Structure formats: C-alpha cells, structure tokens
Chain A
C-alpha cells in the first residue's frame, strides 16, 4: 500500500480530543485539572471498566473488587481532588469544575463508579461548607488518601439526609432522625443521643463516618442540624442491608440504622447555648442548600458524559454493521459505511451527539460558575457579618438594595460612569452570580439527567438488538438505566422543577435573561450558523409566555402562574432548560473558535471542528426552539375554554343565510367558511366551533418568527451527518467492554 496525498479539508478530522475539550470547557490553562482528567480516565478505563466487564455490577453486595476501585481512586488522586493541598489534596481553590471533570471521566465508563467517588465528597461537603475549622481539618485529613510513606487507611464517609423509610410512619417531608440530650453535666460538653434511620444512603457499606441530618426531639435543643456520627461511637452503627438497585451497582447503597451517643461538638458548624438550650449555628436546611446546589451539578455532567461516550461505539457499530456478510466486500459502500449509508441513522446520532454537547456545556458552565461564586459568596457572608447580619432571611432582606443595583447595572449603557462602581461592588457581584446559579444548577440536574435519559434510549436503539446486551461496547444499556437514577437521586426532577419555578422568575434573573437574549442576537449578527438567532427567538417567545401566564387566569378565574399549578410552572421550567443548554453550547463553540488558533493541537483542522460543532449547536437550537414553541403554545392556548355550540360559543360563526348573501358579492367565500350554522340551528358534527386566536396575535407573531428562524437548521444537520459518516475514529474502544 502506498501513501496518498492529504487534501486540505474543512471537515472535522477526528473525534474532538483533549486539546479541543480543554478549550471548550475552559481548563486549557489548568494543568492540575488536566492531570486529574488523565488520572480519573486511567482509573475509569482501567480498573472500573474491567470491573464492569467482569460482571461486578451483577451483585448488590460490596465486594473486594469494588473496594479495590475505591483504593484506585485514592491512588489516582481522585479522592484527594476534594481537599486543599494542606489537607492532602493537590488542587487549590474551589473544586466544582474539578469534581465535575472527574465525574465526567468516571461516568464515561460507569455511573456507579462516579457516584461512589462523589458520595465521599458529599459526606464531607456539609463539613466543608459549614463545619467549624477544626471539624473541616479533622475529617478532611482523615479522609485524605495516605501520602507517600504513610501507612493508614483513609476514612470513608456517607451522607444521610432525609430519605424516609416507607411504611414505618415517616412523613416524606420530615427528617427521619431525632436527637435528644443524653447527658449534660455542669461546665461540660453536652452529649447527644442521636437516633437516625436512613434509606438509599450511598457509601454506607464501608462508611467510617456519617453526616446525618436530624431534628430536635428535646426542648433543650433548638431546631435541626447536621451531626457527624462515627462508627466507633457508643451505641448502634448498623450499615444496614444493601439496596437492591438495578443500576449503579458499583456504588454501595443501603438503609442504615444509627442510635449513638455523641458529643455536641459533632454538630456541624458548632452551636451556642442560650438560656440552657443548645442552638446549632446552622440548621440542616441551611447546610443542605449550600451542599446540594453544588453537588447536583456533577450528577448532570455524569449523564452528559454517557451521551458523548456513546458516539464512538455507535459510529463503529454503524460502519461495521454489514462486514462479514455476503455481498459486503471490502471497498463497497455497504462494507465501508454500513448503516451510515442511511440518513436516518446519521441524523439520530447527530441528535444524541448534539444533546451530549449541550448537556456537557451546561454542566461545566454551572461548575465554573460555582467556582467563581464560592469566593464571592464567602466575601458576601463576611461583609454582612461585619454589619451584624447573619442567616438566610436576614441576608435576603439585606441584599434587596444590591438586587436593585444589579438590575441597574444590567440595564446600564457601556459608558455609564456608575458602571465601574457597581461592577466593583462585591454584593452586586454576588447577587448576579447567585441569581444565575440558582437557575443553572437545577437546570443542569433536571435537563441533563431527564432529557439525557431519553436520549440514551435513542443511543441504545442505534445499536439495534446489540444495544441491550451485555456485550454492547461502551456499556450503553447500563448507562441508559443508570441515567434514570441520576434523574432521581440528589433531588428528583420535581424538586428541580419546583426550584426553577421560583428562581427563574426573580427580577435579577429575568434581567440577566434579557441580556442573554441580546447576546444571542449579537452572536447571530456576527457569526451566523450556530443557531443563535433561532435561540434568541425562542427566548423571546418563552419570556413573552411567562409574562402572559403571570397575568392570565383560566376560565374559572384561577391564576395560571401559581406555585400549585405545576402544569404551567413546571412546563415553563422545562422549556427554559432547553434554552439554557443550547446557549451554553453556543458560547463554548465560540470560545473554541476564538482560542483554538492559539493552541497548536486544537488549531489543526480547527475550521472543520468548529463547523461541525456549530452545526450541532444549530441542530440543538432548532430542537430547543421546537420544544419551547410547543410548550408555550400549549400553555398560552391550552387554558382557553374551547368554544361550544352555544350562543356565546358560535357567535363568530357564519349563518348559512349570511353566507348566501355574501356569496353574491364575494363569490367563493363559502368554501372558506369552516363553521356554518344552518337556519334550523344544525352545525357540523364536532365538539364546537374552531377556536379563534383573538388576543394572541403577538404570541403568533413571535411563534411565526421563531418558525422562520429554523431556516437552515436541517441543512446544518445534513452537514453534521455528513461529518459523522466521515470522521476518523480509533480502531478500537480504549476500555474493555
């Protein structure tokens, strides 16, 4: 075989590699994160993949193999990624992006492995976020993997929240843990008796300590708190029975029982004593809010990883589908392209790929935002504390003025002299970031896992019957099932939707949203082809619909946009998620286009890569626009009463006699009249006259505009499909399957 000359091309050459991903996801300048990625990848595609291939998922029990996986995490630095260098880690500063990247790499192979890794962080997170300095230092040092020359086993933790035990009289809205004062001698530390039962508690088979949310069951303790329990504490520390999960079997899950006597110093964040009552410095709600708003993001990233991980195995399967069959000889289209001869196979894979890109962009954008928010939030807390303001409600009140300033800043012209002052205001900065974070976190959790699961089903279907066998390369069927759990744990979809219905309607967020709308129009004007214009039109329609619904009532006079009206609010939240994901995807591709030229590796074939990823953006934006259009139309028109054959209902209809008269001056008009009432009062055999659209012309104008903005989106999909049929993939998957 001789060599062939390489022609210049604008098609994407290979699957996007690390150089491209580092720019897209903004860690090209962070070698600590790049090393973490390589390290986590090594464990995922080595230890983890071998466990899955060997059938370790076939048991609920915690096995030696699964234990070795945890040790592999320790040795590869995955466990230490949560800690500061002085605590045994190697990454300084906020770690949201770091943990998301590690979760991405692990979930590329197995979601349970990623969960097992994240669960340890989840146990430490309450201590990290709100623990005293001593608690934080103590438990992180215990949990840090041994350093070179050290001979000790790291502690493992579990987080036991509010999961109720079914059928044993526990209300799902209440904590399933209680604490009482067990012993309190004068001038000595009080001792607490903690009684807690957990369900679906991850890492519990081997947890040395548990951070448990409990309520007071004693007048000498106020409210609730999170308390740290250790396995050597006096009393019962029962790891419980393994949960019979159908998914994520590489993580340990069980229903533990605790009845332990612990010192009050184990209350996370400490406590004060007022009038003989122990008052925890933080109630469990304050701690959990701080924890979950961060830890939910990596879960969304995990499902996104599954979608992107499906691309290579599906392409390989599609291309090789007919090889070995009679009539498919080397060199023939059937042999070389297999199922990729067919547009449908390519288009469906493009949809999976586009969703994966959008979901990953959204997830990493959220992670980066929390990295930025962390120090800003700490500064905010310090500033307010100096003014004597502490606690959730007090802080919210105090930040009202900053909210106004934030909105003023968002509406300000670039050259306004007050801009510098407002931009330098740390409270304004906090308010802006917080408003965005409060939306983007639940959006990531909700959309990535929920819609991601649907698209994983699509990915599985692209492998035919092979897709639902254990032999399927890339473990796609496992990933499909795993994604469903990811949509559920750490706050199921309804919880995320509920949060969104509140946070997406704050004035600050909506002001930011308007800015993003303008941003998409600007992008469309300078760089068409990403679908930014389509998305801007979808954003406009969503915003109009929200405003409309907030003022509208149903035929019974009931408010449409209302907390209890989840048919309205949740649907709008869903629509918003599509928009946010698509926006992040577009912004990432623009970043690659701008920065890729400076990277010698990414710049190779950059035009082709940017073109392809832009086409995926366009495809995704069109899908998002379609969803937004459908949902908004249903909400705007769906709550109108359909006209009936009553006097009121058919007042817009023609009478047969009227039509006869009009026919004389406008011949042919009868052909256009849909609903005609005859002289005897009879009418067409249907439920009522067709509904009109009076009062909704603006909606229809916007929807029409949106529809026309879809121009070119299918051409983009065709181009993307063409690339999918030609892009070079490796000879084999780089992990066993």
Chain B
C-alpha cells in the first residue's frame, strides 16, 4: 500500500448560516447572540476537506481519516448526527469554546498537540486537511500554524483538487487570482492542504455509515479532553457583520447580451 494515507481533517463547527447572526459581547468576549442554542453545522470549507479526504481513502486502501474538532462537546455531538452519516472517519473531539473568536495560536497549539498524540498516526504519511476559510470569523492562519508546529513545510491553500501519483507524489490545484488555478507538484507527504470547495458534492446522509461511525464517535465524545484556550493578549474592540451590498434595479425587457455586457462592466469595475 504505497499510497496509504493518514489524513487528519481539522474542522470546527459554526452556526447554521441561515440563522440570524448578531454579534454581542459576552463575559468571555465577543460572541453571537444565542450562539449556544443556534443549530450548528460543520464549517462548510472544512466539510469539503472531509469529503475529499474520504474520497481519497476509498481510492487508497489502507488509508485512515481522523476528524479533529474543537468545540463544545454537546454541539459536536449534535453535528455528528448528520456528518457521521456522510463518510467514515474517526472523531477526535476536543471540548472547547464555541465561536470564531479564540486566539489562533492557542487554538493551533491545542490542535497540533492532539494530532501529535493520535495513536497509530504515521506522520510521514500525514496529509493535514482543513478549510482554507471559515464561516465564522476565520483568522485565516490556524491551519498553517498547526502545520508549522507539526513541522510540515509543504503547505497549500485554496485547494480544489489533489491527484495522487503512483510514486507517492501528488499534484495540487490551488486557487489564484482571476479564477485560475496554480498547479503544484509535491514530492510526497506530509503536507498541509487548506481546501476551498473541492470538486465533490456533499454526500447524502446514510444512516448505515452513521451507525458504524457512532460505535467510535460516542465513546470518543465521552472521553473528549477539555481545552482551555489562552487569549494571549488578544482583545476585540468591536465586532460587526459584513454589510450587505444590494443595489437593485428593476429593468424589464433587457436582452441577454445587454445583461451580459452590464455584468462584465460591473465585474471590471470591482
């Protein structure tokens, strides 16, 4: 099994994007109004990473997937009722605070420490996956920091595709300016891949897979270690939602060509 991979996916949980997200100040710093009771989902970017990881394991027998997730244990459990039905993985939960506001270095340190201690993990075959972005206030650096702490120098961000070769090397497509991809070839594992959307559709729920996953997920949740994240001097002055930009015009009988021309002009102006 020359290409048997050990893929660790770092994925947090975020409030369902359809919910009303209202920033508030809590005792622990910035947060979202009623965040604990809002339904949560696996961070969409990291979800892509998980589905790609699962797809790679089916093509590379002998591979394993761990999902390392830091968040409140109870919320993780609820999210698992959906995610566990989609693909097979081993959950490594870390019971920690919710939200996108913890300090990135503290978070990365906890994740790296957990990954380093994973029983059976062969770091020479490690692909560290995660989201390139986050649906919360993504610091944009956590995954890179985890890679650095673990001593992984080959890092790729905005990944949409990975193709493994027989010799253990792989080709990666990274998003770059202008809607194009940069093609890189990496000699082999270990590597860090921060995924964009990838190319796979969200797998359907399959309770059969879910029940198989649950045999290990529930005990893992019960044994989840508790992480206390240090602020490291980080404080937030204010937090706000991105402003919606909506400039609607009602125009009738516009030809497709005219619509296209306007769109091109508008994109060019951006």
Binding site for B on A (CB under 8 A): 1-6, 13-14, 17-19, 31-32, 34-39, 42-43, 72, 75-77, 80-81, 90, 147-148, 599-601, 604-605, 728-734
User: When A31-B214, A77-B206 are in contact, do A1 and B36 touch as well, CB less than 8 Å?
Assistant: no
A80 neighbours in B (Cβ, 8 Å): 207-208
Q: Is B228 an interface residue (CB 8 A)?
A: no
Taking CB atoms, residues of chain A closer than 8 Å to B38 are 14, 17
Given A77-B207, A599-B74; A732-B238 close (CB under 8 Å): no
Query: Given the interface contacts A13-B34, A35-B84, does A3 sit within 8 Å of B208 by beta carbon?
Result: no
A733 to B19, CA, bound (A): 9
A-side contacts of B194, CB under 8 Å: none
Chain B residues packing against A (C-beta within 8 Å): 16, 18-20, 22-26, 30-31, 33-34, 36-39, 72-75, 78, 81-82, 84-85, 204-208, 210-211, 214, 218, 238-241
Q: In the docked arrangement, what's the CA distance between A32 and B214, Å?
A: 9
- Enumerate 28 A-B pairs (CB-CB under 8 Å) in ascending A order: A2-B238, A2-B239, A2-B240, A3-B24, A3-B238, A6-B25, A6-B31, A13-B34, A17-B38, A18-B78, A31-B218, A32-B214, A34-B81, A35-B207, A39-B207, A42-B204, A76-B204, A76-B206, A77-B210, A90-B210, A147-B208, A601-B74, A604-B36, A604-B37, A728-B34, A729-B20, A730-B19, A732-B18
CB proximity of A101 to chain B, nearest CB, Å: 12
Cross-chain contact A731 with B19 (CB below 8 angstroms): yes
In the complex, which residues of chain A have a beta carbon less than 8 angstroms from the beta carbon of B75?
600-601
**Quick one: given A5-B25, A31-B214, are A600 and B37 in contact (CB under 8 Å)?**
no
How many angstroms between the C-alpha atoms of A600 and B37 in the bound complex? Answer: 9
Check if B204 sits within 8 Å of A35, measured CB to CB: no
* Closest chain A residue, CB of each to CB of B83: A38
**Could you tell me the distance between the alpha carbons of A648 and B205 in the complex, rounded to whole angstroms?**
76
User: B33 to chain A: which residues have CB within 8 Å?
Assistant: 6, 728
Q: Contact check: which of A4, A34, A728 meets B25 at CB < 8 Å?
A: A4
Chain A residues near B34: list those with CB within 8 A: 13-14, 604-605, 728
CA–CA, A630 to B225, complex, Å? 59
Residues of B within 8 A of A729 (CB): 20
Q: A39-B207, A42-B82, A605-B37 are in contact. Are A600 and B72 (CB under 8 A)?
A: yes
* Cβ–Cβ < 8 Å partners of A81 in chain B: 207
Contacts A600-B73, A605-B37 aside, 11 further interface pairs with beta carbons under 8 A come to A17-B38, A19-B78, A31-B218, A36-B207, A39-B207, A77-B208, A80-B207, A90-B210, A147-B208, A601-B78, A604-B36
| CB-based nearest A residue for B40 | A601
Q: When A14-B38, A36-B207, A90-B208 are in contact, do A3 and B30 touch as well, CB less than 8 Å? A: yes
Contacts of B20 in A (CB 8 A): 728-731
CA gap between A35 and B38 in the complex, in Å: 18
Q: Which of A3, A43, A90, A731 contacts B211 (CB 8 A)?
A: A90
- Whether B204 contacts A75 by the Cβ 8 Å rule is yes
Q: Pick the contact of A32 from B23, B37, B211 — CB < 8 Å?
A: B211
- Contact of A38 with B73 at beta-carbon distance under 8 Å, contacts A2-B238, A13-B37 already known: no
Point out the residue from B16, B25, B85 that lies within 8 Å of A39, measured CB to CB: B85
- In the assembled complex, which residues on chain A have CB atoms less than 8 Å from the CB atom of B206? 39, 75-77
- Indicate if the CB atoms of B238 and A35 lie closer than 8 Å: no
Residues on the B chain within 8 Å of A72, using CB:
204
Q: Are A35 and B81 in contact (CB under 8 A)?
A: yes
Among residues of A, the one whose C-beta sits closest to the C-beta of B75 is A601
- What residue of chain B has the Cβ atom nearest to residue A47's Cβ? B204
Query: Which residue of chain A lies nearest to B243 when distances are taken between CB atoms in the complex?
Result: A1
Do residues A1 and B207 form an inter-chain contact, with CB atoms below 8 A? no
Complex A-B, nearest 5 residue pairs according to Cβ-Cβ distance, in ascending order? A77-B207, A600-B74, A39-B205, A1-B240, A604-B36
Interface centre among B20, B75, B81, B205 (most CB of A within 10 A): B205
Interface contact A35-B210, CB-CB below 8 Å = yes
User: Chain A: which residue is nearest B212 at the CB level?
Assistant: A90
B207 touches A3 (CB 8 A): no
Q: Find out whether the CB atom of B73 lies under 8 angstroms from the CB atom of A148.
A: no
Q: Which residue of A lies closest to B24 (CB)?
A: A6
Residue of B38, B208, B240 with most partner-chain A CB within 10 A: B208
A4, A35, A600, A728: the one within 8 Å of B85 (CB): A35
Report the bound CA distance from A142 to B249 in whole Å: 56
Q: Is the CB of B74 within 8 A of A42?
A: no
Closest B residue by C-beta to A77: B207
User: A18 near B211 (CB under 8 angstroms)?
Assistant: no
Closest residue on chain A to residue B31 by CB atoms: A6
B39 contact from A6, A18, A43, A599, Cβ within 8 A: A18
Nearest-neighbor residue (CB-CB) of A605 within chain B: B37
List residues of chain B with CB within 8 A of the CB of A599: 74
- Chain B residues near A734 (CB-CB < 8 A): 16, 18
Nearest chain-A residue to B213 (Cβ)? A35
Q: Is the CB–CB distance between B241 and A1 below 8 Å?
A: yes
Contacts of A38 in B (CB 8 A): 81-82, 85, 205
Nearest chain-B residue to A13 (Cβ)? B34
In the complex, residue of chain B having the shortest beta-carbon distance to the beta carbon of A22: B78
Q: For B39, give the chain A residue with the smallest CB separation.
A: A17
A4, A18, A31, A604 — most chain B CB neighbours (10 Å): A31
B203 to A: closest C-beta gap in Å: 10
Q: Give min CB distance, A79 to chain B, whole Å.
A: 11
Residues in chain A near residue B73, CB distance under 8 A: 600
Give min CB distance, A478 to chain B, whole Å. 22
Q: Are B23 and A3 in contact (CB under 8 A)?
A: yes
Are A730 and B16 within 8 A (Cβ)?
A: yes
Complex Cα–Cα for A38 and B36 (A):
19
- Minimal Cβ-Cβ distance residue in A for B26: A6
B18: chain A residues at CB < 8 Å are 730-734
Complex CA–CA separation, A36 to B22 (angstroms): 31
Known contacts A38-B82, A600-B72, A730-B16: does B36 contact A77 (CB below 8 Å)?
A: no
A17/B238 in contact, CB under 8 A:
no
Residues of A within 8 A of B30 (CB): 3
**CA–CA, A729 to B37, complex, Å?**
12
The smallest C-beta distance from A434 to any residue of chain B, in angstroms, reads 31
Complex CA distance for A77 and B205, rounded to whole angstroms: 8
B38 to chain A, nearest CB (A): 6
Closest to A9 in B: B34
Smallest distance from the beta carbon of A290 to chain B beta carbons, Å?
27
Contact A35 B211, beta carbon cutoff 8 Å: yes
Nearest CB of B to A642, in Å: 58
Docked Cα-Cα span, A76 to B204, in Å, equals 7
Closest-CB distance, B214 to chain A (whole angstroms): 6
A92 to B67, CA, bound (A): 28
How distant is B226 from chain A, measured CB to nearest CB, in Å? 13
Closest chain A residue to B19, Cβ basis: A730
Known A6-B24, A31-B214: A17·B37 in contact at CB below 8 Å: yes
Instruction: Please give the distance in Å from A100's CB to the nearest CB on chain B.
Output: 16
Interchain CA distance A729-B210 in the complex, whole Å: 29
In the bound complex, how far is the Cα of B205 from the Cα of A3, in angstroms? 37
Chain B residues with CB below 8 A from A728, complex form? 20, 22, 33-34
B225, chain A: closest CB distance, angstroms: 16
| B23–A1 touching, CB < 8 Å | yes
Tell me the complex Cα distance, A27–B49, Å: 31
A1: chain B residues at CB < 8 Å are 23, 238, 240-241
**B19/A90 in contact, CB under 8 A:** no
In the bound assembly, the distance between CA atoms of A5 and B74 in angstroms comes to 25
The CA-CA distance from A38 to B79 in the complex, in Å, is: 10
Contacts of A18 in B (CB 8 A): 39, 78
CA distance in complex: A148, B212 (Å) = 13
Complex: A3 Cα to B241 Cα, angstroms: 10
Question: Which of B24, B39, B81, B84 has the most CB atoms of chain A within a 10 A radius of its CB?
Answer: B81
How far is B39's CA from A38's CA once the two chains are assembled, in angstroms? 12
CB nearest neighbor in A for B211: A90
A35 to B81 Cα, complex, angstroms: 5
A31 to B221, CA, bound (A): 13
Q: Do the beta carbons of B24 and A4 come within 8 Å of each other?
A: yes
